[in-house]
Chain A
Amino acid sequence: MSILETKLGPVIFRNPILLASGIVGFGEEYRELIDLERVGGIVTKSISLLPRPGNKPPRIVETPCGMLNSIGLENPGLERFLTEKKQFLETLKTNVVISIAGSSIEDYVEITRAIEPLDFFSVLEINISCPNVREGGILFGKDPHLTESVVSRIRAVSGKELWVKLTPNVTDIGLIARVAEEAGADALALVNTFEGMAIDINTGKPKLGNVIGGLSGPAIKPLAIKKIWDVYQAVNIPIVGMGGICCWQDIVEFMLAGAQLVQIGSALFANPKLPIIAIPKLEEFVVGKGLNSLNEIVGKVIID
Protein backbone atom coordinates (compact mmCIF):
# COMPACT_ATOMS: atom_id res chain seq x y z
CA MET A 1 0.00 0.00 0.00
CA SER A 2 1.26 3.44 -0.94
CA ILE A 3 1.88 5.88 1.86
CA LEU A 4 -0.59 8.28 0.23
CA GLU A 5 -3.33 5.73 -0.34
CA THR A 6 -6.54 6.29 1.57
CA LYS A 7 -9.91 4.60 1.77
CA LEU A 8 -13.32 6.19 2.19
CA GLY A 9 -15.90 3.50 2.74
CA PRO A 10 -15.24 0.88 0.06
CA VAL A 11 -13.48 3.32 -2.28
CA ILE A 12 -9.69 3.33 -2.48
CA PHE A 13 -7.94 6.54 -3.53
CA ARG A 14 -4.32 6.22 -4.65
CA ASN A 15 -3.65 9.61 -3.12
CA PRO A 16 -5.85 12.16 -1.37
CA ILE A 17 -5.89 14.65 -4.25
CA LEU A 18 -9.05 15.04 -6.30
CA LEU A 19 -9.90 17.66 -8.89
CA ALA A 20 -12.93 19.68 -7.78
CA SER A 21 -16.26 19.98 -9.54
CA GLY A 22 -16.58 22.73 -12.13
CA ILE A 23 -12.85 22.92 -12.78
CA VAL A 24 -12.16 20.12 -15.27
CA GLY A 25 -15.62 19.76 -16.83
CA PHE A 26 -15.98 16.07 -17.63
CA GLY A 27 -12.23 15.57 -17.84
CA GLU A 28 -11.70 15.51 -21.57
CA GLU A 29 -10.21 18.96 -22.10
CA TYR A 30 -7.68 18.52 -19.30
CA ARG A 31 -6.25 15.25 -20.53
CA GLU A 32 -3.81 17.16 -22.73
CA LEU A 33 -2.49 19.13 -19.76
CA ILE A 34 -2.36 16.64 -16.90
CA ASP A 35 -2.22 12.89 -16.43
CA LEU A 36 -5.65 12.51 -14.84
CA GLU A 37 -4.89 8.93 -13.82
CA ARG A 38 -2.25 10.04 -11.34
CA VAL A 39 -4.73 11.90 -9.13
CA GLY A 40 -6.96 10.23 -6.58
CA GLY A 41 -10.05 11.13 -8.54
CA ILE A 42 -11.92 13.72 -10.52
CA VAL A 43 -15.26 15.29 -9.71
CA THR A 44 -17.41 16.13 -12.72
CA LYS A 45 -19.13 19.40 -13.42
CA SER A 46 -22.54 19.28 -11.68
CA ILE A 47 -25.16 17.65 -13.88
CA SER A 48 -28.70 18.97 -13.82
CA LEU A 49 -31.78 17.21 -15.11
CA LEU A 50 -32.18 19.57 -18.07
CA PRO A 51 -29.40 21.46 -19.88
CA ARG A 52 -28.56 24.79 -18.26
CA PRO A 53 -27.36 27.69 -20.45
CA GLY A 54 -25.52 29.32 -17.56
CA ASN A 55 -25.46 32.92 -16.41
CA LYS A 56 -25.07 36.20 -18.24
CA PRO A 57 -21.39 37.11 -18.86
CA PRO A 58 -19.00 38.26 -17.55
CA ARG A 59 -18.77 35.14 -15.42
CA ILE A 60 -15.24 35.47 -14.09
CA VAL A 61 -13.64 38.33 -12.22
CA GLU A 62 -10.23 38.18 -10.64
CA THR A 63 -10.10 39.53 -7.08
CA PRO A 64 -7.19 39.85 -4.65
CA CYS A 65 -5.63 36.36 -4.33
CA GLY A 66 -8.67 34.72 -5.85
CA MET A 67 -11.56 34.93 -8.23
CA LEU A 68 -15.31 35.35 -8.32
CA ASN A 69 -17.30 33.13 -10.66
CA SER A 70 -20.94 33.10 -11.62
CA ILE A 71 -21.01 30.39 -14.25
CA GLY A 72 -24.45 29.27 -13.14
CA LEU A 73 -24.00 25.52 -13.59
CA GLU A 74 -23.83 25.64 -17.38
CA ASN A 75 -23.95 21.94 -18.29
CA PRO A 76 -25.41 19.73 -21.02
CA GLY A 77 -28.01 18.11 -18.74
CA LEU A 78 -28.55 14.46 -17.84
CA GLU A 79 -29.40 13.15 -21.29
CA ARG A 80 -26.41 14.60 -23.10
CA PHE A 81 -24.19 13.60 -20.19
CA LEU A 82 -25.25 10.01 -20.79
CA THR A 83 -24.88 10.15 -24.55
CA GLU A 84 -21.84 12.41 -24.98
CA LYS A 85 -19.87 12.89 -21.80
CA LYS A 86 -19.75 9.64 -19.91
CA GLN A 87 -17.76 7.69 -22.52
CA PHE A 88 -14.50 9.44 -21.72
CA LEU A 89 -15.05 9.03 -17.98
CA GLU A 90 -15.64 5.30 -18.43
CA THR A 91 -12.13 4.87 -19.77
CA LEU A 92 -10.43 6.77 -16.93
CA LYS A 93 -8.42 4.64 -14.55
CA THR A 94 -9.05 6.74 -11.48
CA ASN A 95 -12.07 7.38 -9.27
CA VAL A 96 -14.84 9.32 -10.90
CA VAL A 97 -17.14 11.30 -8.65
CA ILE A 98 -20.31 12.50 -10.33
CA SER A 99 -21.65 15.79 -9.06
CA ILE A 100 -25.36 16.48 -9.39
CA ALA A 101 -27.46 19.59 -8.85
CA GLY A 102 -31.21 20.08 -8.92
CA SER A 103 -33.83 22.77 -8.81
CA SER A 104 -36.07 20.51 -6.76
CA ILE A 105 -35.73 17.38 -4.63
CA GLU A 106 -37.44 15.45 -7.43
CA ASP A 107 -34.69 16.57 -9.85
CA TYR A 108 -31.98 15.21 -7.56
CA VAL A 109 -33.81 11.91 -7.16
CA GLU A 110 -34.45 11.53 -10.89
CA ILE A 111 -30.79 12.14 -11.83
CA THR A 112 -29.65 9.77 -9.07
CA ARG A 113 -31.92 6.99 -10.31
CA ALA A 114 -30.79 7.49 -13.92
CA ILE A 115 -27.07 7.24 -13.16
CA GLU A 116 -27.25 4.65 -10.37
CA PRO A 117 -26.74 1.67 -12.77
CA LEU A 118 -23.51 3.15 -14.21
CA ASP A 119 -20.62 1.21 -12.75
CA PHE A 120 -17.70 3.43 -13.73
CA PHE A 121 -18.29 5.79 -10.84
CA SER A 122 -18.32 5.03 -7.16
CA VAL A 123 -19.19 8.32 -5.52
CA LEU A 124 -22.08 10.71 -5.95
CA GLU A 125 -21.41 14.27 -4.80
CA ILE A 126 -24.61 16.14 -4.06
CA ASN A 127 -24.16 19.82 -4.81
CA ILE A 128 -26.50 21.69 -2.47
CA SER A 129 -24.26 24.71 -2.34
CA CYS A 130 -24.03 26.49 -5.70
CA PRO A 131 -24.46 30.22 -5.01
CA ASN A 132 -25.14 31.08 -8.65
CA VAL A 133 -28.52 29.65 -9.50
CA ARG A 134 -31.83 31.16 -8.55
CA GLU A 135 -33.79 28.08 -7.71
CA GLY A 136 -32.39 25.08 -5.87
CA GLY A 137 -28.65 24.89 -5.36
CA ILE A 138 -27.61 26.75 -2.27
CA LEU A 139 -31.15 26.91 -0.84
CA PHE A 140 -30.94 23.20 -0.06
CA GLY A 141 -27.63 23.70 1.68
CA LYS A 142 -28.68 26.64 3.82
CA ASP A 143 -31.81 25.12 5.30
CA PRO A 144 -31.31 22.07 7.58
CA HIS A 145 -34.80 20.71 6.79
CA LEU A 146 -34.18 20.83 3.04
CA THR A 147 -30.71 19.33 3.53
CA GLU A 148 -32.30 16.46 5.45
CA SER A 149 -34.97 15.92 2.79
CA VAL A 150 -32.68 15.95 -0.23
CA VAL A 151 -30.00 13.74 1.34
CA SER A 152 -32.41 11.16 2.76
CA ARG A 153 -34.39 10.95 -0.49
CA ILE A 154 -31.19 10.36 -2.49
CA ARG A 155 -29.93 7.89 0.13
CA ALA A 156 -33.12 5.88 -0.35
CA VAL A 157 -32.42 5.33 -4.06
CA SER A 158 -28.62 5.13 -4.18
CA GLY A 159 -26.12 2.54 -3.06
CA LYS A 160 -23.17 4.72 -4.13
CA GLU A 161 -20.98 6.52 -1.65
CA LEU A 162 -22.78 9.80 -1.00
CA TRP A 163 -20.81 12.96 -0.45
CA VAL A 164 -22.74 16.10 0.37
CA LYS A 165 -21.08 19.32 -0.74
CA LEU A 166 -21.72 22.03 1.80
CA THR A 167 -21.85 25.78 1.49
CA PRO A 168 -19.84 27.90 3.91
CA ASN A 169 -22.49 30.64 3.66
CA VAL A 170 -24.32 29.59 6.81
CA THR A 171 -24.18 30.63 10.45
CA ASP A 172 -23.60 27.14 11.82
CA ILE A 173 -22.03 24.73 9.35
CA GLY A 174 -21.73 22.09 12.08
CA LEU A 175 -25.53 21.94 12.30
CA ILE A 176 -25.97 21.36 8.55
CA ALA A 177 -23.14 18.82 8.65
CA ARG A 178 -24.81 16.82 11.42
CA VAL A 179 -28.13 16.88 9.58
CA ALA A 180 -26.46 15.55 6.41
CA GLU A 181 -24.70 12.85 8.41
CA GLU A 182 -27.93 11.73 10.06
CA ALA A 183 -29.71 11.73 6.69
CA GLY A 184 -27.24 9.19 5.38
CA ALA A 185 -24.25 11.03 3.91
CA ASP A 186 -21.07 8.93 3.81
CA ALA A 187 -18.80 11.98 3.72
CA LEU A 188 -19.01 15.75 3.55
CA ALA A 189 -17.26 17.86 0.93
CA LEU A 190 -16.51 21.44 1.88
CA VAL A 191 -16.33 24.27 1.19
CA ASN A 192 -18.13 25.43 -1.92
CA THR A 193 -17.44 29.10 -2.75
CA PHE A 194 -18.18 32.05 -0.48
CA GLU A 195 -20.80 34.42 -1.83
CA GLY A 196 -19.16 37.59 -3.09
CA MET A 197 -19.59 40.67 -5.24
CA ALA A 198 -17.39 43.19 -7.03
CA ILE A 199 -18.35 46.56 -8.50
CA ASP A 200 -16.66 48.52 -11.29
CA ILE A 201 -16.22 52.00 -9.84
CA ASN A 202 -16.10 53.62 -13.29
CA THR A 203 -19.36 52.25 -14.61
CA GLY A 204 -21.02 51.78 -11.21
CA LYS A 205 -22.12 48.32 -12.35
CA PRO A 206 -21.40 44.90 -10.84
CA LYS A 207 -18.41 43.25 -12.48
CA LEU A 208 -20.31 39.97 -12.86
CA GLY A 209 -23.27 39.67 -15.22
CA ASN A 210 -25.10 37.76 -12.50
CA VAL A 211 -24.37 40.57 -9.96
CA ILE A 212 -23.15 38.10 -7.31
CA GLY A 213 -20.86 35.11 -7.53
CA GLY A 214 -18.77 32.68 -5.56
CA LEU A 215 -15.29 33.49 -4.26
CA SER A 216 -12.56 30.88 -4.53
CA GLY A 217 -8.78 30.73 -4.57
CA PRO A 218 -6.12 31.32 -1.91
CA ALA A 219 -8.13 34.26 -0.53
CA ILE A 220 -10.57 31.82 1.11
CA LYS A 221 -8.08 29.28 2.47
CA PRO A 222 -8.16 30.31 6.16
CA LEU A 223 -11.96 30.59 6.04
CA ALA A 224 -12.21 27.10 4.55
CA ILE A 225 -9.88 25.59 7.12
CA LYS A 226 -12.00 27.03 9.94
CA LYS A 227 -15.15 25.51 8.43
CA ILE A 228 -13.44 22.13 8.09
CA TRP A 229 -12.28 22.32 11.69
CA ASP A 230 -15.85 23.15 12.78
CA VAL A 231 -17.29 20.21 10.84
CA TYR A 232 -14.57 17.84 12.01
CA GLN A 233 -15.69 18.45 15.54
CA ALA A 234 -19.37 18.12 14.69
CA VAL A 235 -19.53 14.82 12.80
CA ASN A 236 -18.05 11.32 12.70
CA ILE A 237 -17.98 10.84 8.92
CA PRO A 238 -14.98 11.72 6.74
CA ILE A 239 -14.40 15.17 5.29
CA VAL A 240 -13.28 16.03 1.77
CA GLY A 241 -11.68 19.45 2.17
CA MET A 242 -11.23 22.23 -0.33
CA GLY A 243 -11.04 25.99 -0.60
CA GLY A 244 -7.96 27.75 -1.91
CA ILE A 245 -5.46 24.89 -1.96
CA CYS A 246 -2.44 26.08 -3.95
CA CYS A 247 0.46 23.83 -2.93
CA TRP A 248 1.31 20.58 -1.13
CA GLN A 249 1.70 22.40 2.17
CA ASP A 250 -1.92 23.55 1.91
CA ILE A 251 -2.99 19.92 1.50
CA VAL A 252 -1.20 19.01 4.74
CA GLU A 253 -2.87 21.95 6.48
CA PHE A 254 -6.34 20.87 5.33
CA MET A 255 -5.65 17.32 6.51
CA LEU A 256 -4.47 18.51 9.92
CA ALA A 257 -7.76 20.42 10.22
CA GLY A 258 -9.72 17.23 9.58
CA ALA A 259 -9.91 16.52 5.86
CA GLN A 260 -9.17 12.95 4.78
CA LEU A 261 -9.24 13.83 1.09
CA VAL A 262 -8.83 17.18 -0.61
CA GLN A 263 -10.02 18.71 -3.84
CA ILE A 264 -8.07 21.21 -5.88
CA GLY A 265 -10.13 23.83 -7.65
CA SER A 266 -9.20 27.28 -8.89
CA ALA A 267 -5.45 26.74 -8.45
CA LEU A 268 -5.61 24.26 -11.31
CA PHE A 269 -6.41 27.19 -13.61
CA ALA A 270 -3.14 28.82 -12.63
CA ASN A 271 -1.12 25.61 -12.65
CA PRO A 272 -2.63 22.41 -14.08
CA LYS A 273 0.46 20.50 -12.95
CA LEU A 274 -0.08 21.33 -9.27
CA PRO A 275 -1.51 17.92 -8.26
CA ILE A 276 1.30 16.02 -9.99
CA ILE A 277 3.94 18.24 -8.38
CA ALA A 278 2.32 17.77 -4.94
CA ILE A 279 2.35 13.96 -4.96
CA PRO A 280 6.10 13.37 -4.43
CA LYS A 281 6.23 16.29 -1.99
CA LEU A 282 3.55 14.68 0.16
CA GLU A 283 5.45 11.39 0.05
CA GLU A 284 8.60 13.17 1.23
CA PHE A 285 6.59 14.78 4.01
CA VAL A 286 5.29 11.43 5.25
CA VAL A 287 8.77 9.92 5.23
CA GLY A 288 10.33 13.00 6.82
CA LYS A 289 7.83 12.92 9.67
CA GLY A 290 8.40 9.22 10.26
CA LEU A 291 4.77 8.35 9.52
CA ASN A 292 3.45 5.17 7.96
CA SER A 293 0.75 6.94 6.00
CA LEU A 294 -0.42 10.47 5.31
CA ASN A 295 -3.79 9.44 6.71
CA GLU A 296 -2.30 9.54 10.21
CA ILE A 297 -2.34 13.35 10.27
CA VAL A 298 -6.08 13.75 9.63
CA GLY A 299 -7.53 16.03 12.31
CA LYS A 300 -4.24 16.02 14.22
CA VAL A 301 -3.87 19.76 14.66
CA ILE A 302 -2.26 20.18 18.06
CA ILE A 303 -4.17 22.56 20.29
CA ASP A 304 -2.37 23.24 23.54
Chain B
Amino acid sequence: MIANLKYRIIKKVVHNSGVVELGFDAPEIADYGLPGQFVNIQVSEKLPHPFLRRPISIHDITVNGEVCFLIKKVGTGTKMICDSEIGDELSLIGPSGKPFTMPNANCTPVLIAGGIGIAPIYFLLNRLLNEGFEPLLFYGAGTSSEILKKKELISSCKVYFATDDGSFAKQGMVSELLPQHIFENSGEFCFYACGPQPMFKSLAPFMKSHNFPCEISAEENMACGIGACYGCSLKTKDGYKRVCKDGPIFELSDIFEEQ
Protein backbone atom coordinates (compact mmCIF):
# COMPACT_ATOMS: atom_id res chain seq x y z
CA MET B 1 0.00 0.00 0.00
CA ILE B 2 1.55 3.26 -1.16
CA ALA B 3 -0.22 6.54 -0.49
CA ASN B 4 0.02 9.45 -2.93
CA LEU B 5 -1.69 12.32 -1.17
CA LYS B 6 -1.19 15.76 0.27
CA TYR B 7 -0.64 15.81 4.00
CA ARG B 8 -0.61 18.67 6.50
CA ILE B 9 2.41 19.50 8.63
CA ILE B 10 1.36 19.42 12.28
CA LYS B 11 4.75 19.63 13.97
CA LYS B 12 7.97 21.49 13.25
CA VAL B 13 11.03 21.40 15.48
CA VAL B 14 14.32 23.05 14.56
CA HIS B 15 17.13 21.00 16.07
CA ASN B 16 20.82 21.74 16.44
CA SER B 17 22.76 22.51 13.27
CA GLY B 18 19.61 23.55 11.42
CA VAL B 19 18.26 20.01 11.14
CA VAL B 20 14.48 20.22 10.94
CA GLU B 21 11.96 17.70 12.16
CA LEU B 22 8.60 17.79 10.40
CA GLY B 23 5.59 15.82 11.56
CA PHE B 24 2.73 15.10 9.16
CA ASP B 25 -0.83 14.05 9.85
CA ALA B 26 -0.56 11.13 7.43
CA PRO B 27 -2.68 8.24 8.71
CA GLU B 28 -2.27 6.03 5.61
CA ILE B 29 1.52 6.24 5.83
CA ALA B 30 1.41 5.80 9.61
CA ASP B 31 -0.57 2.57 9.21
CA TYR B 32 1.91 0.92 6.88
CA GLY B 33 5.31 2.62 7.39
CA LEU B 34 8.13 0.50 8.78
CA PRO B 35 11.68 1.36 9.93
CA GLY B 36 13.98 1.68 6.91
CA GLN B 37 11.22 2.73 4.52
CA PHE B 38 11.12 6.19 2.95
CA VAL B 39 8.65 8.71 1.62
CA ASN B 40 9.15 10.70 -1.58
CA ILE B 41 8.36 14.30 -0.69
CA GLN B 42 7.37 16.84 -3.34
CA VAL B 43 9.40 19.99 -2.80
CA SER B 44 6.92 22.42 -4.30
CA GLU B 45 3.85 22.22 -6.50
CA LYS B 46 4.34 25.62 -8.03
CA LEU B 47 7.94 25.85 -9.12
CA PRO B 48 9.55 23.95 -11.95
CA HIS B 49 12.70 23.87 -9.81
CA PRO B 50 13.66 21.87 -7.84
CA PHE B 51 11.93 19.46 -10.11
CA LEU B 52 12.29 16.05 -8.48
CA ARG B 53 10.91 14.81 -5.20
CA ARG B 54 13.25 14.16 -2.28
CA PRO B 55 13.29 10.65 -0.81
CA ILE B 56 13.43 11.00 2.98
CA SER B 57 13.50 8.06 5.37
CA ILE B 58 10.81 7.83 8.02
CA HIS B 59 12.18 9.08 11.33
CA ASP B 60 9.28 8.08 13.52
CA ILE B 61 5.63 7.18 13.55
CA THR B 62 3.95 8.17 16.79
CA VAL B 63 1.12 6.32 18.47
CA ASN B 64 -1.35 8.97 17.33
CA GLY B 65 -0.45 8.51 13.66
CA GLU B 66 2.02 11.35 13.15
CA VAL B 67 4.71 10.58 10.55
CA CYS B 68 7.99 12.40 11.27
CA PHE B 69 11.01 13.18 9.14
CA LEU B 70 14.37 14.47 10.32
CA ILE B 71 15.78 16.52 7.47
CA LYS B 72 19.21 18.05 6.97
CA LYS B 73 19.47 20.93 4.53
CA VAL B 74 21.94 19.71 1.93
CA GLY B 75 20.65 21.61 -1.09
CA THR B 76 17.83 23.71 -2.48
CA GLY B 77 15.24 20.94 -2.30
CA THR B 78 15.80 19.90 1.30
CA LYS B 79 16.08 23.56 2.30
CA MET B 80 12.68 24.32 0.78
CA ILE B 81 11.10 21.32 2.51
CA CYS B 82 12.66 22.46 5.80
CA ASP B 83 11.30 25.97 5.27
CA SER B 84 7.74 24.58 5.26
CA GLU B 85 5.64 25.60 8.23
CA ILE B 86 2.97 24.03 10.40
CA GLY B 87 -0.28 24.04 8.43
CA ASP B 88 1.43 23.71 5.02
CA GLU B 89 0.51 20.71 2.91
CA LEU B 90 3.03 18.68 0.94
CA SER B 91 2.46 15.78 -1.41
CA LEU B 92 3.93 12.55 -0.06
CA ILE B 93 4.34 9.23 -1.86
CA GLY B 94 5.03 6.30 0.42
CA PRO B 95 5.83 4.35 2.45
CA SER B 96 8.25 2.96 -0.13
CA GLY B 97 11.08 0.48 -0.26
CA LYS B 98 12.16 -2.52 1.72
CA PRO B 99 12.25 -2.09 5.53
CA PHE B 100 14.92 -3.30 7.95
CA THR B 101 14.50 -6.96 8.87
CA MET B 102 13.52 -7.37 12.50
CA PRO B 103 16.03 -9.50 14.46
CA ASN B 104 15.54 -12.97 15.87
CA ALA B 105 14.36 -12.98 19.48
CA ASN B 106 17.72 -14.12 20.89
CA CYS B 107 19.69 -11.44 19.06
CA THR B 108 21.13 -8.21 20.42
CA PRO B 109 20.46 -5.50 17.84
CA VAL B 110 23.38 -3.12 17.39
CA LEU B 111 22.45 0.15 15.73
CA ILE B 112 25.05 2.38 14.09
CA ALA B 113 24.28 5.95 13.00
CA GLY B 114 26.53 8.49 11.34
CA GLY B 115 25.33 12.11 11.19
CA ILE B 116 21.81 12.48 9.81
CA GLY B 117 21.83 8.68 9.49
CA ILE B 118 20.25 8.76 12.96
CA ALA B 119 16.93 9.54 11.22
CA PRO B 120 15.84 5.99 10.28
CA ILE B 121 17.91 4.38 13.06
CA TYR B 122 15.84 6.25 15.64
CA PHE B 123 12.62 4.76 14.24
CA LEU B 124 14.16 1.29 14.27
CA LEU B 125 15.40 1.82 17.83
CA ASN B 126 11.91 2.72 19.05
CA ARG B 127 10.34 -0.26 17.35
CA LEU B 128 12.97 -2.60 18.81
CA LEU B 129 12.40 -1.18 22.30
CA ASN B 130 8.64 -1.65 21.88
CA GLU B 131 9.24 -5.24 20.86
CA GLY B 132 11.23 -5.86 24.04
CA PHE B 133 14.74 -5.91 22.58
CA GLU B 134 17.67 -4.27 24.33
CA PRO B 135 19.49 -2.56 21.48
CA LEU B 136 22.90 -0.90 21.65
CA LEU B 137 23.44 2.35 19.75
CA PHE B 138 26.72 3.63 18.30
CA TYR B 139 26.23 7.23 17.18
CA GLY B 140 28.84 9.41 15.51
CA ALA B 141 28.67 12.97 14.24
CA GLY B 142 31.01 15.67 12.96
CA THR B 143 30.86 17.71 16.13
CA SER B 144 29.05 17.85 19.47
CA SER B 145 26.25 20.14 18.26
CA GLU B 146 25.39 17.74 15.43
CA ILE B 147 24.36 15.02 17.86
CA LEU B 148 20.58 15.02 17.88
CA LYS B 149 18.16 13.89 20.60
CA LYS B 150 21.05 13.06 22.92
CA LYS B 151 19.14 12.99 26.22
CA GLU B 152 16.30 10.99 24.79
CA LEU B 153 18.64 8.42 23.33
CA ILE B 154 20.70 8.07 26.51
CA SER B 155 17.54 7.48 28.51
CA SER B 156 16.28 4.75 26.20
CA CYS B 157 19.30 2.53 25.58
CA LYS B 158 23.05 2.09 25.96
CA VAL B 159 24.68 4.64 23.62
CA TYR B 160 28.33 4.94 22.55
CA PHE B 161 29.10 8.32 21.02
CA ALA B 162 31.95 9.60 18.87
CA THR B 163 32.66 12.93 17.16
CA ASP B 164 35.09 13.66 14.35
CA ASP B 165 36.57 16.63 16.23
CA GLY B 166 36.44 15.11 19.71
CA SER B 167 34.17 17.89 20.99
CA PHE B 168 32.00 15.26 22.62
CA ALA B 169 32.83 11.73 23.70
CA LYS B 170 35.48 9.82 21.81
CA GLN B 171 37.27 11.42 18.86
CA GLY B 172 37.09 9.50 15.62
CA MET B 173 34.72 7.45 13.57
CA VAL B 174 31.93 5.59 15.25
CA SER B 175 33.07 2.41 13.53
CA GLU B 176 36.30 2.57 15.55
CA LEU B 177 34.29 2.17 18.76
CA LEU B 178 32.73 -1.08 17.72
CA PRO B 179 35.58 -3.57 18.19
CA GLN B 180 36.38 -2.03 21.54
CA HIS B 181 32.86 -2.15 23.02
CA ILE B 182 30.90 -4.79 21.25
CA PHE B 183 32.54 -7.69 23.01
CA GLU B 184 31.76 -6.19 26.42
CA ASN B 185 28.37 -7.65 25.61
CA SER B 186 27.84 -11.31 24.97
CA GLY B 187 25.55 -13.25 22.73
CA GLU B 188 24.48 -13.04 19.15
CA PHE B 189 24.55 -9.68 17.38
CA CYS B 190 22.81 -8.27 14.35
CA PHE B 191 23.80 -4.89 13.02
CA TYR B 192 21.89 -2.05 11.39
CA ALA B 193 23.61 1.04 10.01
CA CYS B 194 22.84 4.32 8.32
CA GLY B 195 25.41 7.00 7.60
CA PRO B 196 27.83 8.35 5.01
CA GLN B 197 29.77 6.17 2.56
CA PRO B 198 33.08 6.32 4.50
CA MET B 199 31.30 4.92 7.55
CA PHE B 200 29.97 1.95 5.56
CA LYS B 201 33.39 1.36 4.05
CA SER B 202 35.04 1.34 7.44
CA LEU B 203 32.42 -1.04 8.84
CA ALA B 204 32.81 -3.57 6.05
CA PRO B 205 36.09 -5.25 7.16
CA PHE B 206 34.90 -5.55 10.78
CA MET B 207 31.59 -7.13 9.79
CA LYS B 208 33.28 -9.43 7.36
CA SER B 209 35.98 -10.61 9.76
CA HIS B 210 33.40 -11.57 12.39
CA ASN B 211 30.83 -12.74 9.87
CA PHE B 212 28.25 -10.39 11.37
CA PRO B 213 25.07 -9.65 9.42
CA CYS B 214 24.73 -5.90 8.88
CA GLU B 215 21.85 -4.19 7.13
CA ILE B 216 22.49 -0.71 5.81
CA SER B 217 20.27 2.02 4.43
CA ALA B 218 21.70 3.06 1.05
CA GLU B 219 21.21 6.28 -0.84
CA GLU B 220 21.14 7.29 -4.50
CA ASN B 221 19.55 10.07 -6.54
CA MET B 222 16.01 9.01 -7.39
CA ALA B 223 13.40 9.90 -9.97
CA CYS B 224 10.22 7.78 -9.78
CA GLY B 225 10.95 6.31 -6.33
CA ILE B 226 8.73 3.26 -6.95
CA GLY B 227 10.89 0.96 -9.05
CA ALA B 228 9.80 1.88 -12.56
CA CYS B 229 12.54 4.08 -13.99
CA TYR B 230 15.79 2.36 -12.91
CA GLY B 231 17.34 5.76 -12.17
CA CYS B 232 18.55 4.93 -8.64
CA SER B 233 20.38 1.70 -9.42
CA LEU B 234 23.30 0.79 -7.21
CA LYS B 235 26.05 -1.71 -7.92
CA THR B 236 25.78 -4.83 -5.79
CA LYS B 237 27.50 -8.19 -5.94
CA ASP B 238 24.42 -9.46 -7.81
CA GLY B 239 24.44 -6.66 -10.38
CA TYR B 240 22.57 -3.37 -10.35
CA LYS B 241 19.72 -3.07 -7.85
CA ARG B 242 17.17 -0.30 -7.46
CA VAL B 243 17.62 1.58 -4.18
CA CYS B 244 13.94 2.57 -4.18
CA LYS B 245 12.48 -0.89 -4.67
CA ASP B 246 15.12 -3.57 -4.00
CA GLY B 247 16.42 -1.35 -1.16
CA PRO B 248 17.02 1.09 0.41
CA ILE B 249 17.94 -1.60 2.93
CA PHE B 250 20.74 -3.84 1.68
CA GLU B 251 23.18 -6.25 3.28
CA LEU B 252 26.45 -4.33 3.74
CA SER B 253 28.52 -7.14 2.23
CA ASP B 254 26.38 -7.10 -0.95
CA ILE B 255 27.57 -3.58 -1.67
CA PHE B 256 30.96 -3.11 -0.06
CA GLU B 257 32.56 -6.55 -0.18
CA GLU B 258 34.52 -5.87 -3.34
CA GLN B 259 35.88 -2.50 -2.23
Chain A residues within CB distance 8 Å of chain B: 22-25, 29-30, 32-34, 53-54, 56-62, 64-67, 69, 71, 74, 217-219, 246, 266, 268-273
Interface SS majority for chain B: loop
**Quick one: given A23-B228, A29-B227, A58-B221, are A273 and B51 in contact (CB under 8 Å)?**
no
Cα A61 to Cα B220 in complex, Å, equals 10
Q: Are A266 and B223 in contact (CB under 8 A)?
A: yes
**Most chain-A Cβ atoms within 10 A of its Cβ — which of B48, B52, B227?**
B48
Q: What residues on B are CB-neighbors of A268 within 8 Å?
A: 224
Q: What is the CB-to-nearest-CB distance from B136 to chain A, in angstroms, rounded to a whole number?
A: 33
Give the interface residue-count category, chain B. 20 to 34
21 residue pairs of the A-B complex, CB under 8 angstroms, read A24-B228, A29-B224, A29-B226, A29-B245, A32-B4, A32-B226, A53-B239, A53-B240, A57-B232, A57-B233, A59-B232, A62-B51, A62-B221, A67-B51, A67-B223, A71-B233, A217-B51, A269-B224, A269-B229, A271-B45, A271-B91
For the A-B complex with A25-B230, A33-B2, A54-B240 known, give 8 more contacts whose Cβ atoms are closer than 8 Å: A23-B228, A32-B1, A61-B221, A71-B229, A74-B233, A219-B48, A269-B52, A269-B225
Instruction: Tell me, yes or no, whether B115 is within 8 Å of chain A by CB.
Output: no
What is the chain B residue whose CB lies nearest that of A62?
B52
Q: Is A57's CB under 8 angstroms from B234's CB?
A: yes
B240 touches A270 (CB 8 A): no
- Tell me whether A57 and B93 are in contact (CB under 8 A): no
What is the CA–CA distance of A179 and B220 in the complex, to the nearest angstrom? 41
**Cβ of B49 under 8 Å from chain A:** yes
Q: How far is the CA of A188 from the CA of B256 in the complex (A)?
A: 45
Residue in chain B with minimal CB distance to A74: B230
Contact with A along B236-250 (1 / 0, CB 8 A): 000110000100000
Q: Provide the residues of chain A in CB contact with B245, threshold 8 Å.
A: 29
Cα–Cα distance between A218 and B230 once the two chains are bound (Å): 21
Chain B residues positioned under 8 Å from A266 (CB to CB) = 51, 223
Interface-centre pick from A29, A53, A71, A217 (highest chain B CB count, 10 A)? A29
Given A61-B221, A266-B223, A273-B4, decide whether A66 and B51 contact each other with a Cβ distance below 8 A: yes
Given contacts A23-B224, A30-B226, contact A272 B4 (CB under 8 A): yes
Taking CB atoms, residues of chain A closer than 8 Å to B231 are 59-60, 69, 71
For the complex, what is the distance from the CA of A218 to the CA of B50, rounded to whole Å?
Answer: 11
Cβ-defined contact, A65 with B48, below 8 A: yes
Contact check, A59 vs B228: say whether CB atoms are below 8 A apart.
no
Q: Is B42 an interface residue (CB 8 A)?
A: yes
Q: Does B59 contact A (CB under 8 A)?
A: no
A264 to B220, CA, bound (A): 24
For residue A71, which residue of chain B has the nearest CB? B230
| Cα separation A66 to B230 with both chains bound (whole Å) | 17
- The distance from the CB of A141 to the nearest CB of chain B, in whole angstroms, is 21
A268, B226: Cα distance in complex, Å: 12
Q: Does B12 sit at the interface, judged by CB under 8 A?
A: no
Report chain A residues within 8 Å CB of B222: 60
- In order of increasing CB-CB distance, the 3 nearest A-B pairs are A25-B228, A60-B231, A218-B48
Check A269–B223 contact: CB distance below 8 A.
yes
In contact, A22 and B2 (Cβ under 8 angstroms): no
Output the least CB separation between A66 and chain B (Å). 6
Q: Which residues of B contact A62 (CB under 8 A)?
A: 50-52, 77, 221
Say yes or no: B233 contacts A54, CB within 8 Å. Answer: yes
Residues of A within 8 A of B72 (CB): none
Q: Are B239 and A270 in contact (CB under 8 A)?
A: no
Minimum distance in angstroms from B202 CB to a CB of chain A: 20
